[in-house]
Amino acid sequence: MDAYDEDSQALRGPDGSTGARRPPDPEQHGDPAPEASGDPDGSPAPDSPAPAPRTGVAALSPGYQVGAAVALAIVAVAACVHLGMVFLSLAPANTVTKQHGKAIEEWVYPEFEQNWKLFAPNPLQQNIAVQVRAEVRMKDGSLRTTGWTDLSAQDGAAIDGSLVPSHTEQNELRRGWDFFVATHGTDNRPVGMRGALSEQYVRRIVVMRMYRTDPISREGVIQRVQVRSSTTNVQPPKWSREKISDKPFYRLLPWWTVTPDEAAGGVR
């Protein structure tokens, strides 16, 4: 029989006829059988991730880690001390700078000298109260002088505890007095062209306030007013050894004559 005519691997029926070809045996051809995978569905088992290498301080031995921590702590403390010294050298005069001023200067100057100020303007270290009294002509023609009325205390009481304090209560009297002080000398004489304007401004404020709050002024007509300021030093904290006088210093202005339109109630 010719090898090209018949296939020795073909299946034969009972009558000797040939049928479908027999599938090859994997063992005979040497094909390896598929290996069983770790998962039932045949997917390969995932590889476990390798641990990340340690870097930085964590890569050091315990002894070197302790040394690095100590070095970082020293640097942090030195930085805080330096920032504190520079802050105190720029801050306005206070209890700490008065007691340790020499040590602060030795630390800062000359290498770390700063040519600017931390606060502008400097925080106030005094309590200044503006007070006024008036000479009132009563309906019977007599003159009566009122007692001193602390207008600053009235503003402070109105502001204290208020969620929305009035801008007028906060600034009108205070800015008016600052305007007067800036345009007058210690002898209460005007300095410059704005001196008379500042006097008029303060006078109108105090007359308006007296008509509003003083019972005697409301019953008559204000003829003259006299203004004074009471300055008291802010006391140092209890732990400070600094001694500051707590007695008020008064700056008394001369009597001002109220103009006719103001006396007639033009500022009420």
Task: Say which residue the tokens 């700056």 belong to.
Answer: 251
Mean pLDDT, all residues of the chain: 80
Nearest C-alpha neighbor of 227 from the set 158, 174, 151, 123 = 151
pLDDT at residue 76 in the model: 95
Residue 190 β-bridge partners: 184
Contacts of 7 (CB under 8 A, 6+ apart): 18, 21
**Position 149 pLDDT exceeds 70:** yes
pLDDT at residue 40 in the model: 54
For residues 194, 200, 206 and 211, what is the CA-based torsion angle, rounded to 10 degrees? -160
Asked whether 12 and 22 are in contact (CB, 8 A), the reply is no
Q: Please give the average per-residue pLDDT across 48-57, as a whole number.
A: 70
Predicted confidence (pLDDT) per residue in 87-139, tens digit: 888 888 888 888 888 888 888 876 777 766 656 566 668 899 999 999 999 99
pLDDT at residue 126 in the model: 85
Query: Domain segments of the chain: what residues?
Result: 63-121, 126-263
pLDDT bin (cut points 50, 70, 90) of residue 55 is confident
What gap in Å lies between CA 69 and CA 72, rounded to an integer?
5
pLDDT bin (cut points 50, 70, 90) of residue 236 is confident
Asked whether 118 and 91 are in contact (CB, 8 A), the reply is yes
pTM for the whole thing? 0.55
